[in-house]
Structure 1
């Protein structure tokens, strides 16, 4: 089988990874695969009981797994700041894998009043990453991984209605948040390089994977079950993130399934949309994100 799978993950002994949303689905599989390769894994999750249940599941197969619960609610900037302070106490952080994401048919808001899909999937990810980069920079060769989706292609960010005060449509909002994820990771890559920091920013996507992301919708759950049978299981959907975090990849690259129009199969380099590579969109998103979150990484804008 050509391409990257969990079998290609090298030994990670001595390294520490943070995986957001690690208690279920793809995040759980990422954490499990890293633990199997002797990494220390911080499961950054909102629900402690679910995180500890996930840790118990991992230890059934890997009794010596080195696992730590990191409380993190990406829908609350106070929690984001507290999680960064806790992670700062770790001896080292070698990679931050931003996997957590939400979507749903109902308009919901974060603790600070942001539309939840954009607030969690992008703003929470932006803020936590910005707070962690100084720590990551102290471990040369470290990486920031940001999970997008093939749905970013064709997505549009409604700059005049980021809070969805005018309208809310479930899938377009989710797709826009996934476009934001790629705009962010590519802009982060440009700024990290301009600053000369030893941190690599890499994007990834899971293809079409059957997860519980649509758990708030009964028909969504049925659809996800069928997807898992026909396309990627959560374990297969984790291959892109695992390659981005541990494989031989390019800074500013984008990795995920390479078969069936990037919907399934082993991971390899993928092609993002033109909008995702638009530096003007990326700079605008960066500035808006700093303004909304009040968190600024203060990396110089690239020329």
Structure 2
């Protein structure tokens, strides 16, 4: 990994993302962590560098719900790191009240799905340059039991925080499925995963639950370190290179919900995501 490009971890300043980034650095990789909080980012970079005993991490500031910032981030990454071996899409949120992004899109959908979509596609040239490269999408078992409402993707009529989150995680799996159909796995493989129910600050960060209730809810949750096991496996394990378009749990392939295997829904979400981000397959060479 050390001589084969660069690793990017979004949402890499806390929780699962920080644990993943540190372990990649410990394995010899140079790592960029992306987050929206400058102080957390500086602290995370320092912690990773201390853990490995040398400067191996960098932090880039970006609010990934804002497509303009995603585009600037991608341009910076491509300039600094023309060969990207691993992209781990991990940034996400759970919002207690309906909010909209800088582009006027519902925040959960914008951050949890469209940031994965836009950043992955913009970085394809650098990923191809590092072939065989890997894209790892952190999804969730919370995708089970919901379907996308294409008539109300922005939850304008009926916003429920947990439903918006679960649908965004379903979107992660449908995106993985659609992207896998368009990529040559010999160049870039893409897989998704459920990290487990992890004790992070996800539930308190954006007014979803009071801290004491989230603490009760997560009393049986696993640690971020254990939550990092499957993304690290998909990013680094030699045998994981043979998987493409799969869903993993506990470092093993798992079958997602029927809704996550719906090719028509995946194709429709793909087209909607192209429209909402202003991308075209022609310019992306897909």
Both proteins in one fold, TM over 0.5: yes
Q: 2:75 aligns with which of 79, 85, 89?
A: 85
Match of 1:118 in 2: 109
- Checking the alignment, whether the CA contact within 8 Å between 1:210 and 1:226 is kept in structure 2 is no
Residue equivalent to 2:85:
94
| Residue 166 (structure 1) shift | 0.8
In the alignment, the residues of structure 2 paired with residue 66 and residue 220 of structure 1 have an alpha-carbon distance, to the nearest angstrom, of 36
Cα distance in 2, alignment partners of residues 198 and 53 from structure 1: 34
Residue 220 to residue 206, structure 1, CA distance change in 2 (3 Å): farther
CA RMSD of aligned residues (A): 1.9
Aligned to 1:107: 98
Query: How do 1:142-291 and structure 2 match up within 5 A?
Result: 142-193=133-184, 198-215=187-204, 216-217=206-207, 219=209, 221-226=211-216, 229-247=219-237, 248-249=239-240, 250-257=243-250, 267-291=251-275
After superposition, the C-alpha distances for 1:23-53 in whole angstroms (9 at most, x for unaligned) are 0111010011111111100011122221111
Corresponding residue number in structure 2 for 1:24: 14
Check whether the contact 1:130–1:297 (CA below 8 A) recurs between aligned residues. no
Q: Secondary structure at the match of 1:214?
A: helix
Give the unaligned 5+ runs of structure 1.
1-11, 258-266
Question: Which 5+ residue runs of structure 2 have no aligned equivalent?
Answer: none
Deviation at 1:256, TM superposition (A): 2.1
Distance 1:297 1:50 in 2: 36
CA distance in 2, matches of 1:207, 1:220: 22
CA contact (8 A) 1:243 1:255 kept: no
Contact 1:191 1:300 in 2 (8 A): no
Aligned partners of 1:75 and 1:205: how far apart in 2?
Answer: 21
Tell me the distance in 2 between the aligned counterparts of 1:280 and 1:157: 12
Q: Matches of 1:284 and 1:154 in 2, distance apart?
A: 19
Question: Which TM-score applies when normalising by structure 2?
Answer: 0.92
Question: Alpha-carbon deviation of 1:297?
Answer: 4.2
TM-score w.r.t. length of structure 1: 0.87
Contact 1:239 1:256 in 2 (8 A): no
SS in 1 for 2:32: strand
